[in-house]
A and B are shown apart, each in its own frame.
Chain A
Amino acid sequence: MGAVTDDEVIRKRLLIDGDGAGDDRRINLLLKSFTKWCHSPGSPEEGFTQYQRMLGTLAQCEFSMGKTLMVYDMNLREMENYEKIYSNIEQSIMSAHDKIGECKKEIQRAKRIRKNRQEYDALAKVIQQHPDRHETLKQLEALDKELQQLSHIKENVDAKLELRKKQFHVLLTTIQELQQTLEIDEKSDSDDHSQESPAENGE
């Protein structure tokens, strides 16, 4: 207590008496009137009135003290309330941060999906330019069948040609043989004739 300087005391007193002129003065006056009343030689009525007056002042002091206590309580509760709001806001900031991170990831994912879709579209465009596989297969089958038919016909025609060739060959050889036989006969006939005529001429 002795270490507290005068300045501190003055500062504290000024602080305490800051809210309304007179609380401190009231207490001092009460103290003075109490000592005066204790030492006063006056009549009992005066003493009684002074006593009543002192009680009134005391009541006033108690009232103002009660008021200050209530204000203090209120301030404490307000502080708590603000603390709560502060922590709520901090939490929502954190969750907003998290949500932003999530959204960024979502955007990356969506961009990738979009890129894949576009690649798919680009390829699909190229593929569409080529004709349908089923149609091409059907065309191939039809062409195959036609090819088979045509080769079949070709075989038939070839066989017929061979047959005809052989028949003609037989016919021609027969004719030639007949021709040869006829020539031989003619020759032998003319020989016979020429043999007979010199024989006739010789006689």
Chain B
Amino acid sequence: MVLKVFFPSCCSLADSGILIGRWISEQNSAVVLAVVHFPFIPVQVKQYLGEVQRVTKVSVSVLGSWSNSKQEKEESLSEFLEDLGTIFCHEPWIQISKEGDSKFWSCSTLQKHSKNPQEEEIILVYYDQRKVMLSHLHPPLDTAGRRAEDASKLSAIFDTVARSRVLFMTDRYDEGPIKLTHWQSDGVEASIIVELMKQASVPACMLLTFLLSLLSGICRSRVLKFWPLSFLWSKLSTCEQLGHRLQHLQVISSNKKAQNQNQLMRKANIFVSLLIDVALGILLMSWLYRKNRIGHLADTLIPVADHVAEELQDLLQWLMGAPAGLKMNRALDQVLGRFFLYHIHLWISYIHLLSPFIEMILWYVGLSACLGLTVALCILSDIIALLTFHIYCFYVYGARLYCLKIYGLSSLWRLFRGKKWNVLRQRVDSCSYDLDQLFIGTLLFTILLFLLPTTALYYLVFTLLRLLVVIVQGLIHLLVDLIDSLPLYSLILRLCRSYRLAAGVKFRVLEQQDGKPLRLLMQINPLSYGGVVQTYRLPTYSCYPRDSWASLCKKLFLGELIYPWKHKGEKQN
């Protein structure tokens, strides 16, 4: 059976000593964590290892001996090292020795209780201790459901190094009896900024939690729950987005420490996302308020609304004539056309009534862009919904009329053929009608059939307009969702410190020499950007199109009202 020794590359230049680490017998591999130097007292070493084992729950033990001699191999030293094997009994006792500056080390094992005393092959795998300690191994995305215990042998190695953090806290300037060499033995590193931020974050979090509890108390108060207001809040997408961000703030400001990697990354992602959002929002606000651009915007809003209304009037005049050469039913055409024209007239009067206040309202509403770019985009979407409210109304009227007509036609068609819809059995049954029923039914059927093109045309035109508005709103919401759910912190981490997010490992074969063990270098294979986004994306509150294309087409044909997005912007007068 092949023996694998995982050796940290930082210990290659260490002085002679004994190797401590973890022996994983199922995989026949030894993970070396540090080198203990001479002189030491074996009892103290065993005590220290017992303490480390208790704290880290990793079964750390003495694995073998390491000799780094500048001259040729000394016979007495090798016997001394073999004798150490009897003091710290470990099966198998690994002996690694390096001569001078040679890259090729000799490695041998001593088995006292082996059944088959044949020479087993040894593979020496070098690994970068700091990177493996900090990295987080991600399981393959498709087997996330199955918890296979032996799916990844490498995760045991990553786990061992990550959990032995306390072993790496002692450096060579400590006055203890044990002298270790590991990646931090030249001096423990820390950052002042990180420590200061940790100290400052506790009172900041408490203040934030207090403010948020006040805010959510106000939001939940009875005053805001009365019927018109609560309906309003549920329809405006701005309120949903603000609620979503409030939830995010609550997650960040909670003083419970993150339990595992996923929760930590989620908190960090939310924090960075909020920061970037607010920064972009403030940038947008400064751009809008400079040179009074918002005043110009308010000034052009009324003319744009007027222009839209005029275009609609022209469209209706076109429909009332002979649109695209089709011959409409004169009377119905005039009725529908005049009804919609009157509606537009009402709408224009309403807009003109509001026009003196528009600039002020817009100025104050624009200030709320400092809450974030997503809030500004939601406000834009709501303004579009408000301005095109008449198109929505027309669509509803046209759709209802068309829907009634279609149902009437289908029911009378059944009557024409002598059949009836059986509600109990949910199927079409034959039925014998009286003569006068048949007469009236056929008459009504003919009337509805010949009036169908007119209604269908109005319905088609207004549905197309409504779909246009829905598409524009949908694009805005798509952008908002993208900003909400993108895990920016994880992406930046993948860019700058790619070893922290590991999808696996890769091995590189180093120079070999006959007779010496196989030398491999284990490097971390980082997760791809697509994998990072898939693993760490933040959940959002909307779900995309509820209906499939087929059911959407069916609804359009039958005249049922469509709500393609889960949340829609609509405001009642």
Q: Do A and B bind each other?
A: no
